[in-house]
Structure 1
Amino acid sequence: MTPKDYYAILGIPAGSGPDAIKKAYRRQAMYYHPDRNPGDAYAAAHFRDVQEAYAVLSDPLRREDYLLDRGLYRATGAGFGFGASVPLTPDSVLRQAVRLDEHVRTLNIYRMDREGVASSVSRLLADAASLSGSFAEPRVFAQTAHFLARACAPLPLRLVEPFRVSLETLAAADPSVVKEISAFYDGKRHESLVSRYQTPVLILVTLALCLLAWWLAR
């Protein structure tokens, strides 16, 4: 089956960045929204395609799979579905967590799509949670938690805080990973406090130095 061109669906050039993807999605979703096009089957179908395109392109891991499969299709005329043929198992989720960690490490921390990375982590945590009751693979789940926590390293506390309970639950079988996650969140809280108070403290220090310089110059 010919793969959908998600960039064309959103009306943007291939390889467009997160901001362009989000802006195009909002524009297209508003234009084709069923509430604005009652009874229009074409608009309803296109609206679903727009939602699908955004769900894939806004998620770094799914976007990478999509681009790989899209390139494979263009080169060979076959192969598409970004992992649809791979069954969801603890091992497959672990492999995706490792890939996400490796992918995040290649990104520029100042330009990366942090919300997109958080979305990938959230999706993999949900996948792992859905499997935990059916598979007795505690060590695999613990390793998954380890790599997902590492993938969260560049993210601010506000994005990673919701993952703490899920990560600790996954890591429960390995005390060293639980300790690692606890240390990770301690560091994130410290980082958040420093970021919050750094500017006011610098301003106060600058004012104090200015006052001292004025007093000495009298």
Structure 2
Amino acid sequence: MNVRTFDLQNALYYCGENLVPFDGELYLFKQFYSLREADQLFAAVETGLAWQEETIFIFGKRVKVPRLMCWYGDPDACYQYSGVNHQPKPWNETLQSVREKIEQQCGCAFNSVLANLYRDGKDSMGCHADDEKELGHNPLIASLSLGDERLFKLHHKKSKETVDIILGHGDLLVMASTLQHHWMHSLPKTRKFKTSRINLTFRKILVN
């Protein structure tokens, strides 16, 4: 059995600037993958993952998700949100390689990844917090962006303070500490011309 060990105190992400002023931690690593590496990775995941359309349950209605998605991970890393139970597909070589690189950056282990494919500016992610019980109390979530740049928006639940971040090709965003308790985030639609963007969000699902 391959046991991965990490030293959280020496995790490199703590060396970055915290992008939220209070109530959580948010770090951005520009060009975590170089442009050449990101190009190769984008091509590999665009053609190599089992993308699918999905409908979710919101306010008593079934709604088509405005993007393509897929869920990969360890066999027991099941994840449920918006009324949909996601059974993980097994890791492939590309995702495993990315996971190992991001684990070393973040100083923790991940057992799953949610992949989203935004086909154009009409595809989006609604405002939400990653606060499902399967993610634990203060989850650390690492999100890798590939492809066309998009705006990532956060707002504080009480103060309504906002933070806007442009996520580019090869950038890594790390959300940690109490961020999910106090901040909501989204990837809004845009009227600007946009080509495809892929987002790989690595998580640790708590397993009974």
Q: TM-score band, normalised by the shorter chain?
A: under 0.3
> Which structure is higher in helix share?
1
- Structure 1 or 2, whichever has the larger Rg, is 1
Choose between structure 1 and 2 for higher RCO, CA contacts under 8 A separated by at least 6 residues.
2
Greater share of strand: 2
TM-score scaled to structure 1, two decimals? Answer: 0.22
